[in-house]
Copies of this chain bind each other. A is one copy, B any other.
């Protein structure tokens, strides 16, 4: 299951090199991840109501080509690993306006309660566990 998230780069996302600042790619990928979870029927609000949070454990991003102001970009995001206590997402960011692959990335997330205590989704919530398992099967 691959979800596609698209929008344009904002003026306030550029820096003095006239391209989008590299830190904003992590914000864009968060937007794409939120959208992905919504599409698999697991919106953040459902997670939070179940007292399950998913902080970032690690993030690697490879930058290939810039995105300029007003360029349209597409992020293809998919879950690539899910163990019950961790989930990984992979991302491809395309600069659609310039027809170039802009970046590739992978993020790893654990699960915690609101208080930051680590937890196993497998044990804590079978509905959410099944939703996460299923979105990997469909890859």
Contacts of A19-42 to chain B: CB distance below 8 A? 19, 21-24, 26-27, 30-31, 34
Question: A89 at interface (Cβ–Cβ under 8 A)?
Answer: no
Q: Which residue of B lies closest to A106 (CB)?
A: B60
Determine if A43 is an interface residue (Cβ-Cβ < 8 Å): yes
Some 20 contacts from A to B, beta carbons below 8 A apart, are A10-B27, A10-B31, A10-B34, A11-B15, A11-B30, A12-B15, A14-B16, A15-B16, A16-B18, A17-B53, A17-B55, A22-B55, A43-B70, A44-B69, A44-B70, A45-B70, A55-B63, A59-B59, A59-B61, A60-B61
Within the assembled complex, what's the spacing in Å between the Cα atoms of A34 and B16?
14
Q: A10-B30, A11-B44, A58-B63 are in contact. List 6 more A-B contacts (CB 8 A).
A: A10-B34, A11-B30, A15-B16, A56-B63, A57-B63, A58-B62
**Interface pair B56/A22, CB less than 8 Å apart:** yes
Decide yes or no: A34 and B116 within 8 Å by CB, A57-B63, A63-B57 being known contacts: no
| Interface residue ranges of A44-98 to B (CB < 8 Å) | 44-45, 53, 55-63, 66, 69-70
Q: When chains A and B are docked, how far (Å) is the Cα of A23 from the Cα of B56? A: 10
Question: How far is A43 from B70 in the complex, measured between Cα atoms in Å?
Answer: 10
Question: In the complex, A26 Cα to B12 Cα: how many Å?
Answer: 10
How far does the alpha carbon of A11 sit from the alpha carbon of B12 in the complex, in Å? Answer: 13
